[in-house]
Amino acid sequence: MTRASVSPLIRELRAALGAAQVLSAPADLVAYECDGFTIEKHPPDAVVFPRSTDEVARIVKICNRLGVPVVPRGAGTSLAGGCLPIGGGVVVMLTRMKQVIEVNLRDRLAVVEAGATNVALGRALSGTGYHFAPDPSSQKASTIGGNVATNAGGPHTLKYGVTVNHVLGIEAVLGDGSVLRVGPIDNPAGLDLIGVLVGNEGTLAVVTKVWVRLTPNPADYRTMQVIFETVDDATNAISDIIAQGIVPAAMELMDRGIVAAVEEAFAMGFPLDAGATVVIEIDGPSAGLDEQQQRIVKLCEKWNAREVLYAADAKEREKLWQCRKMAVGAVGRLSPSYIIQDGVVPRTQLPRVLRRIGEIAVKYGLRIVNVAHAGDGNVHPILLFDERDPEQVERTLAASGELLQECINCGGSVTAEHGVGVEKIRFMDKLFAPADLEAMRRVRQSFDPSGCLNPGKLIPSAS
């Protein structure tokens, strides 16, 4: 870029951060045009790499003054277009702020910069006897800031809760560039600002530091893989297990389509002709686990379970989980492009919604495979298509919309954990009354008066 073409925005960002922390050449911006939702793409005006909360504050102040949108970004694994720089703007990459600053076992908390990956925090806690409970399948890449901004869940959400249940404090830069710090403390007095900030999808603040709760590692586990003839049987067994008052740590369903991809990738020996495979894990003190496991197996047998395979040791357990968490990646073997949808329904509605997903696949002539955090009623239909064919893209989007509508019809919602982003914003007025949305807009305005933080995401603007 010649000196004459450097815009005031880029000049100010370089002056504030140093040129090495600012990207603005078109070729450098391509990687930031989209996130895990690849259907829509917009190049940003610049990408910046702050190293401290103070630098983030300086960036936000500059953007505010120049009327430029600010798009916070961690690893960019959002599946809802949360990092899409609609109409340009400055993408703020948090990935250089990646220190696990402190592990404090006496207070059972860790202090982490927003750009640290979930797995890096796990590594820092290894050997302490504690862990950070939210375990999204993207945890090798996704950041703690991203997990906080999307209120991420994961397979073990069923027993341990989602990210908001594990955040004790947050430091964040608000829309005017001021720095807010809430916590770290359990049940603080005053308004629950942590509850407001977790899940804000970058629309209220740029999270720079998080105090996370540490959870003691379970003393023991029982992990099994139950093979069912049909998806209906599997989902009915899952509802029965919960109805019996058993709360497993995880119940993860994979249908025949995804098992085929997983088998090709990992050769685990899963049967290719079964309707569904469910990974069930229980954990806690050793006493009583065997009895609980027997009760679960009995309930699965009532629903015609063909076979139950038990993880014999920690190595086998780890392999099973690795395989489940890499299942989505394995889909790359089936299709050049895919959309991973995220809907949630009451558990008892799982048979209905999964059947309907099958019908929608037939209606639109598409292949759809399913993974589900089934214990939570959280379905992840994966729609396979070829992004290079506009007609296929159109069909895929129509099918996506129809299956999300079905989740609403079943008394559920269009997202359990991936967020609203740009992808689902059109559903917000189906989920919320005008007065609810107006209240959300007012909250947003008080955190970000000029509206520069991640515009066009999460909360629709007033019509």
Ligand X SMILES: Cc1cc2nc3c(=O)[nH]c(=O)nc-3n(C[C@H](O)[C@H](O)[C@H](O)COP(=O)(O)OP(=O)(O)OC[C@H]3O[C@@H](n4cnc5c(N)ncnc54)[C@H](O)[C@@H]3O)c2cc1C
Which residues would be at the binding site for ligand X (CB under 6 A)? 35-36, 71-79, 82-83, 94, 114, 136-138, 142-143, 145-147, 149-150, 152-154, 201-202, 206-207, 328, 417-419, 421, 454, 457
Q: How far from chain centre, in Å, is Cα 392? A: 26
Closest distance of CB 325 from ligand X, Å: 8
| Number of other CB atoms surrounding residue 418 within 10 Å | 27
Identify whether the C-beta of residue 297 lies closer than 8 Å to the C-beta of residue 308.
yes
Select 152 or 299, whichever has its Cβ closest to ligand X: 152
CB of 74 or CB of 412, closer to ligand X: 74
Contacts of 127 (CB under 8 A, 6+ apart): none
CA distance 179 to 270: 51
Give residues with Cβ within 8 angstroms of 36, minimum separation 6: 76, 77, 78, 79, 340
Shortest distance (Å) from residue 436 CB to ligand X: 20
Residue among 13 and 91 whose Cβ is closer to ligand X: 91
Compute the distance between CA of residue 348 and CA of residue 340 in angstroms, rounded to an integer. 22
Tell which phi-psi region holds residue 108, choosing left (phi > 0), alpha (psi between -120 and 50) or beta. left
CB nearer ligand X, residue 12 or residue 423? 423
299 vs 281: CA distance, rounded Å:
15
d(CA 419, CA 269): 34
User: Least distance to ligand X from the beta carbon of 327, Å?
Assistant: 9
R_g (Cα) of the chain, nearest Å: 22
Q: How far is the CB of 258 from ligand X (least distance, A)?
A: 12
The nearest distance, CB 310 to ligand X, in angstroms, is 24
Structure tokens at 95: 């990935």
What's the closest the beta carbon of residue 313 comes to ligand X, in angstroms?
25
CA dihedral sign, ordered 437, 39, 37, 89: negative
Between residues 138 and 413, which has the closer beta carbon with respect to ligand X? 138
Position 250, amino acid: A
For residue 110, the minimal CB distance to ligand X (Å) is 16
- Would you call 115 helix, strand, or coil by DSSP? coil
Pick 232 or 448: Cβ nearer ligand X: 448
Q: How far apart are CA 297 and CA 220, in angstroms?
A: 18
Using the minimum distance from each CB to ligand X, give the nearer residue, 198 or 361. Answer: 198
* Least distance between ligand X and beta carbon 459 (Å): 12
Minimum distance from residue 225 beta carbon to ligand X (Å): 19
Phi, psi of 385 (to 5 degrees): -160, -175
Q: Which residue is closest to ligand X by CB?
A: 146
Cα separation, 86 vs 82, in Å, equals 10
Nearer to ligand X, 153 or 184 (CB): 153
**Closer residue to ligand X, CB minimum distance, 152 or 274:** 152
CA distance readout (Å), 421 to 183, 262, 361, 367, 459: 27, 28, 24, 25, 9
In the complex with ligand X, the residue whose CB is nearer, 73 or 317, is 73
The least distance separating ligand X from the CB of residue 376, rounded to whole angstroms, comes to: 10
Read off the amino acid at residue 396: T
